[in-house]
Structure 1
């Protein structure tokens, strides 16, 4: 546990209304030792919010807690009945998405998808990074759903919940199977990732892009490798992501950079630098999202911030709350992505001016939907007429 002087603790309590040294740990379960969580983003593993009992590890006096083995990635097979998820949110530009995996080994400490693990009885902390689920029949399900009579074609987003090119994709190859289905059907797709592994499929993406059917967004949050390694421990390095933008652009695939999330007091000073690096690499579009701390993500991020940047803890949360009407998070549509108030306005102006100067977002083109051909492969129900 971090040792905070009494005077500093009083100052923290006065400005934030919480006991930093104890309350985060007590509410989230005891902090996991560095040896056990090496290479992971979260430092705690709180019980899921729907569980009837809370789990708490403690040392019984035999000094055995630190002798437990390090967390290893465990992948289980999930067999869903459908693969296309639909939404009606006015804050995002797509109404359907595909997620071949549940949970994400990248371990981004700020990931807004972490609370989804609570629906399967697991923690949003270490469990989200180590207890993963793969959907090996994703391509077959997608082919079947695209072939249904009356299917209305719109771009499918992939990577909106967990990264489709996370490390386990090297073993399962589900994304390539999905792209093969989409290419055969001439179906538009937009991909968001933090992984240079996307270059493995540049051949398919290039062919689809030639028809106006594909675009890829790379999320680049910082150019500071130390910050990236602690905040996104198993994602590709910032330079590799920029290299991926360059390679995709050279292959004719429209690319976008997502400077997301913007964390006030931590990486917001890099907005212009990130956009310049991405534009130089060939990105044609750019976007950003303000840090979101829904549900369990709030305590997980706070614990991480206190461990790695204790001197910035009060400043970061103070700025964030100034854009969330005094709260850690405001889920209201129209506000949750960008925030409100003077500091949020300043971030937006800086981003817009830099993007305009660099020629980003000048010529946005929609993906084509008029080339779609319903699949007629194996496993697709044939017409009775």
Structure 2
């Protein structure tokens, strides 16, 4: 096992959400640099100041993940990538990189994995005799439209398979690049087979650049939302995450902007801090908002029974207590005032099982 040498002082990095290589919970050895008086520490910090993105290509044994969580509105999901270059500092998926013996901090946004056979495995899944059609959430763990999608096109390849099988799916993204696939999405939407939700955290470009440095700018997401809605694709907005004393003040403004851009449904999710994400978030707060870091964490702990995070089903998305109740009430009033509703249910009755690939090819 290789231990990464970590500089002892974290500094904000332009274009990155995390400031350091926060240790994963499964690491057995962690090495920390110490100044030897010969400027070696400064050289290490300079070398680490701009980590480059690397992508490892891998062959997935399976592609469909299943869950039975009672507070999640889907039972199947597909993720063509592991890690996410968007670099959102608050991403709940960051701790998953610990399973790869990598840091949920900078590694999560710089050491990425592309499942190059994703479409092949999905086709095989749809050809299984016992497969039962249920809507698929595409790119729910890490964004399917993150920057490396331009190079690999795995998300588009997956959509092409679902279009062929007439399989229903939903997308949640922070990218404006979803409009690239409008030629596939619009016809499927007309058949009740796709919905798209945009996750919006803030309308402030400067705050967005700090929190989600390589995601699309807020105005670009709203523009993409309008483009899809005008093409007949059902579109919703998720205000996520709502961060007390950082972005919660924008809740109504985000809902208003999204409604004006064509969003027909809306939801919100409170900031979640599972596992190592607590350290990543606290580090970011100390670097960018030292004057209110203690207050932010105090409010989060009030909403999670005195802890940084409570992962209990039904609680983890919303929290509890006076401040959580206030956010819920504000959202509810804006939701009703703006006339939000529900997106149409995805249809499963149009699914056409695919034929299993044969070495002889298609003879007839």
- TM-score grouping bracket, smaller chain normalisation: over 0.9
1:30 paired with 2:11, answer no
- Distance, in Å, in 2 between the alignment partners of 1:380 and 1:280 is 51
- Distance, in Å, in 1 between the alignment partners of 2:46 and 2:283 is 23
Q: Which segment is superposed worse, 56-65 or 82-91?
A: 56-65
For normalisation by structure 1, the TM-score amounts to: 0.89
Structure 1 position 267, deviation (Å): 0.6
Q: Match of 1:18?
A: none
Alignment counterpart, residue 42 of structure 1, candidates 4, 18, 35: 18
Report the 3-state secondary structure (helix = DSSP H, G, I; strand = E; otherwise coil) of the residue aligned with 1:89.
coil
* Count of residues paired in the alignment: 352
Q: Which segment is superposed worse, 266-275 or 69-78?
A: 69-78
- The answer to whether the 8 Å contact 1:84/1:98 transfers is yes
> Structure 2 unaligned runs (5+)?
1-5
For normalisation by structure 2, the TM-score amounts to: 0.94
Structure 1 position 58, deviation (Å): 3.4
Structure 1 position 380, deviation (Å): 9.2
Alignment counterpart, residue 296 of structure 2, candidates 316, 325, 332: 316
Structure 1 position 375, deviation (Å): 1.2
Alignment counterpart, residue 175 of structure 2, candidates 184, 195, 207: 195
Q: Match of 2:30?
A: 54
- Distance, in Å, in 1 between the alignment partners of 2:52 and 2:79 is 22
Q: Which segment is superposed worse, 59-68 or 279-288?
A: 59-68
1:35-184 aligned at under 5 Å gives the runs: 37-63=13-39, 64-68=43-47, 70-184=50-164
* Residues 118 and 204 (structure 1), Cα distance of their counterparts in 2 relative to 1, 3 Å cut: same
- The answer to whether the 8 Å contact 2:241/2:268 transfers is yes
* Residues 313 and 381 (structure 1), Cα distance of their counterparts in 2 relative to 1, 3 Å cut: farther
Alignment counterpart, residue 285 of structure 2, candidates 305, 330, 336: 305
* Residues 57 and 199 (structure 1), Cα distance of their counterparts in 2 relative to 1, 3 Å cut: farther
Structure 1 position 33, deviation (Å): 4.1
Structure 1 position 289, deviation (Å): 0.5
Q: Match of 1:12?
A: none
Q: Match of 1:369?
A: 348
- The answer to whether the 8 Å contact 2:127/2:356 transfers is no
- Distance, in Å, in 1 between the alignment partners of 2:86 and 2:271 is 17
- The answer to whether the 8 Å contact 1:147/1:380 transfers is no
Report the 3-state secondary structure (helix = DSSP H, G, I; strand = E; otherwise coil) of the residue aligned with 2:130.
coil
Structure 1 position 29, deviation (Å): 6.6
Q: Match of 2:325?
A: 345
Q: Match of 2:274?
A: 294
Superposed CA deviations along residues 201-225 of structure 1, whole A, max 9, x for unmatched, are 0110101001000000001110111
Report the 3-state secondary structure (helix = DSSP H, G, I; strand = E; otherwise coil) of the residue aligned with 1:187.
coil
Q: Which segment is superposed worse, 61-70 or 325-334?
A: 61-70
